[in-house]
């Protein structure tokens, strides 16, 4: 007798190729309208599903999981970060959580490097000026920015993405510095010619550009607090393609407005999708709508990892991208 297909509830619209494969392999319930599920809809989903496939827009908290039915045994997250899932509650209920590590590294690193280039060279500001019809020709002192060649880049979090950004930045002639929970292997340090800083405060005070690549956890909430942001030199730039909650957005906005920082490139925000309205008024900030991993290739790779995790689990094996207990 054929094995019963698991009921898989997908919370957002995914690429067509991924949804088609899910329909072939599982009893898949898709989100055809592509809007975030309400809390009541998520509760209904966890009551019925064998597998839930959420995204970053879904807050799978303890209240949601307390309503989970007995059949929910896997949350196969579509994405790498799992800070929107209450991992402790999932563990208490013997619900396995998986993610999609590794596939977004190059895309996010590309976007980070784009912001590292765009902010000091005032690219977004120049583009807005052109569209407004305010350009009246070249002049020697018009819209001068700053070169990045020879500047110091401080990487916060030297994981996969941090390393990929460091490689790109080194090719652009930047000096690589980093602060991370664990120091990387000496061979990698030598390859990147990277300087390790045990003290984040000391590194912040000496860099020209800071880029954020650590995960959002209770320990990293407002890691870049008002106090730490004030350690940065006034000529420095902040780039964040990780999670908005890592940076005190209100403090950052105030400092940018006062000229206490030269500029920022932000792809993530503390209260997404809401953005501090005062940020929108600043010319020295490049704002993007969470595009760091937004490539078709990346989304398909994410979906394929989700499918592998579900299929492996349904076949009675441990899924390859299980979020380990040590991460709780």
71's tokens: 């059949």
Catalytic residue among 91, 121, 167, 290: 290
Catalytic residue among 243, 249, 270, 299: 243
**H/E run at residue 76:** strand 74-76
Tell me whether residue 177 is one of the annotated catalytic residues. Answer: no
Residue found under tokens 């809809």: 41
CA distance 160 to 164: 6
The DSSP line for 69-108 is: -TT--EEE-SSS--TTB-HHHHHHTT-EEE---STTHHHH
Would you say the C-alpha torsion 277, 283, 289, 290 has a positive or negative sign? negative
Question: How many residues does the structure list for the chain?
Answer: 328
- Angle at which helices 296-314 and 16-25 cross, to 10°: 10
Tell me whether residue 272 is one of the annotated catalytic residues. Answer: yes
CA distance 111 to 288: 10
Tell me whether residue 48 is one of the annotated catalytic residues. Answer: no
Which residues participate in catalysis according to the annotation?
243, 272, 290
């Amino acid at each position: 007798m054929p094995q019963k297909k698991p009921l898989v509830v997908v919370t957002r619209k995914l690429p067509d190729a991924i949804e088609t494969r899910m329909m072939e392999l599982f009893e898949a319930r898709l989100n055809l309208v592509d809007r975030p599920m309400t809390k009541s809809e998520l509760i209904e989903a966890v009551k019925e599903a064998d597998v839930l496939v959420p995204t970053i827009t879904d807050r799978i908290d303890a209240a949601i999981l307390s309503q989970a039915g007995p059949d929910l045994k896997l949350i196969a997250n579509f994405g790498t970060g799992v800070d929107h899932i209450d991992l402790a509650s999932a563990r208490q209920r013997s619900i396995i959580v998986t993610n999609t590590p590794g596939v977004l590294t190059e895309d996010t690193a590309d976007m980070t490097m784009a912001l590292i280039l765009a902010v000091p060279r005032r690219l977004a500001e120049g583009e807005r000026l052109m569209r407004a019809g305010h350009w009246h020709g070249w002049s020697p002192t018009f819209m001068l920015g700053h070169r990045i060649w020879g500047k110091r880049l401080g990487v916060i979090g030297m994981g996969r993405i941090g390393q990929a950004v460091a490689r790109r930045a080194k090719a652009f002639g930047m000096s690589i510095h980093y602060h991370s929970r664990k120091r990387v292997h000496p061979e990698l340090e030598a390859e990147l010619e990277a300087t390790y800083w045990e003290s984040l405060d000391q590194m912040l005070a000496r860099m020209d550009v800071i880029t954020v690549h650590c995960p959002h956890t209770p320990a990293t909430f407002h890691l870049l607090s008002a106090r730490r942001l004030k350690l940065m030199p006034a000529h420095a730039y902040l780039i964040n393609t990780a999670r908005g909650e890592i940076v005190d957005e209100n403090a950052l906005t105030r400092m940018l407005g006062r000229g206490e920082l030269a500029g920022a490139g932000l792809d993530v925000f503390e209260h997404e999708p809401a953005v501090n309205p005062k940020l929108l008024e600043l010319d020295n900030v490049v704002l993007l709508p969470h595009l760091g991993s937004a490539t078709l290739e990346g989304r398909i790779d994410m979906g394929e990892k989700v499918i592998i995790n579900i299929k492996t689990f349904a076949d009675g094996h441990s899924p390859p991208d299980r979020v380990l207990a040590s991460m709780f």
